[in-house]
Amino acid sequence: MPFTIATWNINSVRLRLPLVEHFLRTYDPDVLCLQETKCPKELFPGTTLKALGYEHIAVHGQKGYHGVATLSKHPLFDETRRDFCAVGDSRHLSVRLDVGAQRLRIHNFYVPAGGDEPDRTINAKFGHKLDFIDEMRLVSALSEPDVSSILVGDLNIAPFETDVWSHKQLLKIVSHTPVETDGLIRIMTEGHWADLVRAQVPLEQKLYTWWSYRAKDWRGADKGRRLDHVWGSADLVPRLARYEVLKDARGWERPSDHVPVMVTLNL
């Protein structure tokens, strides 16, 4: 049975609701995980999205900032919301669902961006980001017996050299500094996570999911970074069917600076 999961930093779900509707109608994933929804639960446009067939919605939101939501065609169970770093941000949502006989745990993350200066002694936002990714090491793909795990979201780190347009020029830029990339790879290694997109895309190939609003010609310059990720437990790697990074979405009207990333599994 094919199962498609998508992740997308939407940068305000209410502002870009028409884009979400278009995406769901056109690409029809089983599950869509959104980040940076920027609204509390009571203002989330659930009625509109349920009418498109996504009757099962879990939301962890707050007014004006952050926020994650998981939309599903399948019933959702065991919702959990973890307050990483104990600062009250809505940056994590976990749900369980069943696809036939397959039990899945899905973690939806929005990792802090970290500000502009990669030095925690002068930039508290960067310190927060480092503390957050250190705490993420506790999230394991093997935490539940007989349950496969998927971790998705805007992790705000491009871990590999080919995940950025210029490795040398971005080594001192937040999202690609060694302390961040080493931290993210450590989460993957210690948590027994597999990078499901890179499992199909060789490391020699450039791959981006984000293009800055500052670029006048984002497509021509193509100075992107791969900040949005889909990971899975090792048992899901042989079930990979395909992936898609929907680059064209960056050119839609009033777009997010991130684009959807989709992975299809044969479950």
CATH of the domain at 253: 3.60.10.10
> In the structure, what pLDDT confidence band is assigned to residue 141 with cuts at 50, 70 and 90?
very high
Enumerate residues 6+ apart whose C-beta is below 8 A from 138. none
Give the SS3 label for residue 208. Answer: coil
Please provide residue 28's backbone torsions phi and psi, each rounded to the nearest 5 degrees.
55, 50
What per-residue confidence (pLDDT) applies to 2? 96
Q: 149 falls in which pLDDT band (50, 70, 90)?
A: very high
Measure the CA–CA gap between 59 and 78, rounded to whole angstroms.
Answer: 13
Phi, psi (deg, nearest 5) at residue 60: -130, 100
Q: Residue 204 sits in which domain range?
A: 2-266
**Res. 171 pLDDT band, cuts 50 70 90:** very high
pLDDT band at residue 197 under the 50/70/90 scheme: very high
At residue 103, the pLDDT reads: 97
Structural tokens at position 88: 């009250």
Q: Look at the chain and report how many structural domains it folds into.
A: 1
